Amino acid sequence: MDHSGHGEHGMPMDLPPFTLGRGLEFSSDPFFLAGCLVGLALYGWGVARLRRRGDAWPVGRTVFFTAGVLSIALVMCTKLNDYGMVMFSVHMVQHMVISMLSPILLLLGAPVTLALRALPPAGRGRKGPRELLLALLHSRYMKIVTHPAFTIPMFIASLYGLYFTPLFDFLMGSRAGHIAMMVHFLAVGLIFFWPIMGVDPGPHRPGYVMRMLELFAGMPFHAFFGIALMMASEPMVRAYADPPASLGISALSDQNAAGGIAWAFSEIPSVLVLIALVFQWYRSEQRQAVRKDRAADRDGDKELEAYNAYLASLQARSR
């Protein structure tokens, strides 16, 4: 592939050998920089609006959402994005973060719940942003795209259907194509993890065991994909088959590293999501116990009284 196309990213054709320090230097992608700033501003507006109204919003959620946005900025608004155009291993870090780490952090921030609480109702017979968001959440389209029969195959196809077909090379050939691919990775991650995390309201809300099964249905395919890259004896993706000489790397060792990253990264979201699910499950059980105690307090332990009366009647009969 002709590396001159990479100039569109505002990047020199010959990059020096990769180091973490060089990779983390600021190198803005205007699209993602604007998206991250808008995301933080809207979330901040929502939290401020609730506070002004006297409503609480958990600090932890704000921290998670901010970390999610910063994780996108980390891989898209630094030189990692430039190196990712010519190094498969760096691109794989971008892909894994934006499709498997950023979505989990963003969803733990509960942005949909915040929007529904912060947006004002439009009034009778009118449709404002809040009403449109509710209509979207309850739409047939949303039911389809958040159903595991759609999310799991899409999650898998984003790996095999992209990297092992000419589509990847086509998208890497232009700045717009590269942005579209990264937005796709983020969107697929969000719709895959949204029903599993279960923090925000959504059309598909399975029980906790089902959520765990959904999580583990998708993860092994990432590991297999990584192993396939590591075991290949020749470059499998044309876009990275001829890295610039200035990097001082071979295409095969770089692909090997990319496979190792894909394989190792598949464990990280599993652990994060499992911790979140177990915590949610525990909290839900606690809430249920509190509800039962309150109900018992309200009805003056009628169940217990009825049971005692039943025992007394049995005793009376036996005499």
CA distance 195 to 214: 9
Task: Extract the tokens encoding 281.
Answer: 């499950």
Residue 303 in any domain: the answer is yes
Predicted model pTM: 0.83
Q: Is the pLDDT of residue 24 over 80?
A: yes
> What tens digit of pLDDT does each residue of 229-283 get?
999 999 999 899 999 999 999 999 999 999 999 998 877 877 888 888 888 888 8
> What tens digit of pLDDT does each residue of 157-187 get?
888 889 989 999 999 999 899 999 999 999 9
Residue 26 in any domain: the answer is yes
Mean pLDDT rounded to a whole number for the chain? 87
Residue 229 in any domain: the answer is yes
| Total number of domains constituting the chain | 1
Residue 72 has a pLDDT of: 97
Residue 213 in any domain: the answer is yes
Q: Is the dihedral of CA 39, 182, 71, 209 positive or negative?
A: positive
Q: Is the pLDDT of residue 301 over 80?
A: no
Residue 80 in any domain: the answer is yes
With contact defined as beta carbons under 8 Å apart, do 108 and 197 qualify? Answer: yes
Residue 7 in any domain: the answer is no
> What tens digit of pLDDT does each residue of 186-225 get?
999 999 999 888 788 887 777 888 888 888 887 788 888 9
- Please give the residue range of the domain that contains residue 78: 20-120+128-318
Residue 12 has a pLDDT of: 43
Residue 259 has a pLDDT of: 95
Residue 255 in any domain: the answer is yes
Residue 2 in any domain: the answer is no
CA distance 272 to 268: 6
With contact defined as beta carbons under 8 Å apart, do 67 and 106 qualify? Answer: no
Greatest Cα-to-Cα distance within the chain, rounded to the nearest angstrom: 100
